[in-house]
Amino acid sequence: MNFTTAWSTNAVSVCHACGLKKIARIERSRRYKLISRQAGKLASEGKTSELPGLQTSELSAFLALVHDRMTECPYPETLRTFETGISPESFYVVPLIEEGPSALKKINAGMGLGLDDWDIEYYYNLFVKDLKRNPTNVECFDLSQSNSEHSRHWFFRGKLIVDG
């Protein structure tokens, strides 16, 4: 597993609130013992030493019934550790103060952020004039995702008024 699930984050928070401060990660899983039709027939005949595994089509049919591919993944082998050997990509600072909006245009093209000219001007002003600092590539990616049309209907460009 190369990421911590939301369920794990909540479970660890509960553990920490209960004084279990050394808990770093908890994940949940489901295991199923599956026997193929052919294996079931051989087992009923007492031929247990010849049991074949599931056919790909049988496994696919089973997963379609019980598996949410958006939030779950099958593990063909039992996990022994959460370590994957995968190192996270390093982040870097986008030099808006030094290079101006062109730095944001460059990362926009390089990362496929989908920012238009209005977005670039808005985020340039936010970081340079208001926050007086440069953003990281992670912040730029997050802003792109958070304000995409399918998430926030950013294209309406309406004025947001909170509590008033």
pLDDT band at 81 (very low <50, low <70, confident <90, very high): confident
Which of these, 122, 119, 97, lies nearest to 108 by C-alpha position?
119
Residues of the chain with CATH 1.10.8.750: 96-156
pLDDT higher at 37 or 66: 66
- In this prediction the pTM is 0.50
Q: What is the mean pLDDT of residues 28-49?
A: 73
Please state whether 129 falls in left (phi above 0), alpha (psi between -120 and 50) or beta.
alpha
Let me know: does 84 contact 27? Beta carbons within 8 Å.
no
> Rounded to 10 degrees, what is the CA torsion of 8, 11, 12, 14?
160
CATH 1.10.8.750 corresponds to the domain 96-156: yes
Greatest mean pLDDT range, 31-40, 131-140, 145-154? 131-140
Assess whether pLDDT exceeds 80 at residue 121.
Answer: yes
Q: What is the mean pLDDT of the chain?
A: 84
The pLDDT score that the predictor gives to residue 147 is 72
- 40: tokens are 């079931």
Over 60: is that where the pLDDT of 51 sits?
no
44/112: higher pLDDT: 112
- Residue-wise pLDDT for 86-110, tens only, equals 887 899 999 999 999 999 999 999 9
Q: What are phi and psi of 38, to 5 degrees?
A: -65, -40
The residue whose two tokens read 């209960």 is: 18
Nearest alpha-carbon partner for 137 in 123, 155, 154: 123
Inter-residue contact 58 to 36 (CB < 8 Å): yes
